[in-house]
Amino acid sequence: MIGYVGGFVLNFRRMISLVALIALATGGVACSSESKPDSSGTAKTTVTDTGFNLTAGTVTASAASGVAPNGTTVAMQTGAGPLPPGVANVLTTTGDSVQISLNGGAIQPVSPVKLTFVVDSAAAQDAISQGDAPVVFSKSADGKTELLPGSYDAPTHSITATTTHFSSFWPDWLNPSKFFSGVVDETKQLLGVSKPKPDCVGQSAVSQGMTYTVSSVTGDVAWPCISGDDSQLKLTLYSNSSLIYRVRTTPATSGTPAAELNLTGIAATTVYKELFARYADKESVLPASGSVDFAFDADNPPQDGALLSEPALAMVAVLVLGIETAGKPFGLSVVDKAAANSGALECISGSAIASASQDPVEIVKATLTCIQQVQDTTSQVIIGTLLSGIPVLVSMIQGMWSEVNGTNQGTFTVTATGTRTVKAPDPVSEGAPAGGPPAGGCTMDPQSLALLRQSIAAQRATAAQATGAPPSYRASIEASAKVLEDQIAAAGC
């Protein structure tokens, strides 16, 4: 019996050798659209009427007809090197990386190409259990990076993604905790950023014989300057913080904020107008990295002021900037793309309204949901992963909230010295006394009335667009609008 088996093995080997010789003699089987990998992980093929299917190492690329002109050379080489340093601390590479090109990089696919990476199944289960998301990181020869959404197939233990631009590709697991910890680190740095002291700080203003000097703001959260003449005094506060502050002065007056031309400056001012329009004649907002001007009649000069940080506004601002900074190595640009997307900007402006309870987790969820309106692949992947990982991010979100609330107020005083020189009234230019409230019984000045009505319209437009938001979100916006309507009604307007 044993001899028979041995004879069979020997004859079988001879048959294999004979088949191999025949194959060599006839040139083998032609299969131009299939992969021809070798032991080094390289493979080449050409595009045919049916597209191509190519495998190198444990990576397969396939595309349907029309992906490129027939006869185009498709080349694959495994081993694209290590991940760039900026993303390696967030992504965990699994399986072979690969470089792919058409005609040596001369052309790009005109339709999607499917990439399949065989990965370690045990490592995949560990990644999935901790909330990691399958992704494919790509980097072009010109340095452009992109994060492609992936899907994991357990039976074949493979990660699949599609692309329309050939470059270098790494199959990875994106860890939401690692990425968000980078956002928190960036937030801490943002909160510690200070601005140069303007030259006007410490200078006095002279008006009607009096000299006015403004003290420093406690905590140095802002730089104060004062200037003026015999008719008017101007008080300017320059931000020295990454937080957003409400500012009130004595006597009470509204200010004119100047925000930096970026998403957080614009959004902060918009949110403020919607949330605090009822105080428009009594206070203003100091945007992060911006300034605010207050004008006072020389006969009623400034005496003091107070700054109070609005945690919800601050949280939205530092979160957006933190994601922008932490996401740059991935090709993520939240600020520019969201600023160009009116829906995303309005949604971000309304996210603080939706979070009236000051729940930091809800603020983060609302802001991330707004950013998802930016139709960008990398944004969708990263923000979607963060949203799905919210439960494991709660402690970090709470920590960020504590950082934001660390320095949340400041005060300053204005000191007047000297003897006031009172100018005699000019009977020719002196205006007649006001003739009472406007016709119709409305006691609110037209500017404040217009601002309130504009805010009501903006809030309801935001609620109408938030079709996917929870009912409580829209209810909170409606409640805020109703408060403003009641104020208008109480003023008889």
Query: Can you give the CATH number for the domain in which 59 is found?
Result: 2.60.220.30
Q: Do the domain assignments include residue 116?
A: yes
For 169, the domain range is 33-174
Phi-psi map region of 358: left, alpha, beta (phi>0 left; psi -120 to 50 alpha):
left
Any domain includes 148: yes
What was the pLDDT predicted at 425? 55
State the Cα–Cα distance between residues 187 and 184, nearest whole angstrom: 5
pTM of the model: 0.61
Strand order of the sheet with strand 52-56? 52-56, 59-63, 113-118, 158-163, 151-153
Per-residue pLDDT of the chain (493 residues; tens, 9 = 90+): 333 333 323 333 333 333 333 333 333 333 334 443 333 589 999 999 999 999 999 999 999 999 999 999 999 999 999 998 888 889 999 999 999 999 999 999 999 999 999 999 999 999 999 889 999 999 998 888 989 999 999 999 999 999 999 999 999 999 999 899 888 887 777 667 678 899 999 999 999 999 999 999 998 889 999 999 999 999 999 998 877 788 989 998 888 777 554 545 555 555 555 555 555 667 788 877 788 999 999 999 999 999 987 677 778 777 887 888 788 888 777 777 776 777 776 777 665 555 545 688 888 888 888 888 877 788 888 888 899 889 889 988 888 887 777 667 789 999 999 988 865 555 554 444 444 444 457 877 676 676 667 667 766 876 776 665 556 556 656 766 776 687 778 778 8
| Nearest by Cα to 11 from 28, 25, 23, 3 | 3
Secondary structure letter of residue 321 according to DSSP: H
Query: For residue 408, what are the contacts with CB-CB under 8 A and spacing of at least 6?
Result: 243, 308, 309, 311
Is the residue at 160 inside a domain? Answer: yes
Asked if residue 182 belongs to a domain, the reply is no
From the list 227, 238, 235, the residue with the least C-alpha distance to 295 is 235
Q: For residues 371 and 344, what is the distance between their CA atoms, to the nearest angstrom? A: 6
> 255: how many CB neighbours lie within 10 A of its CB?
22
The answer to whether position 240 is within a domain reads no
Any domain includes 43? yes
Q: Examine residue 224 and state whether it is found in any structural domain, yes or no.
A: no
The span from the CA of 401 to the CA of 410, in Å, is: 19
pLDDT at 48: 97
Number of domains composing the chain: 1
Any domain includes 26: no
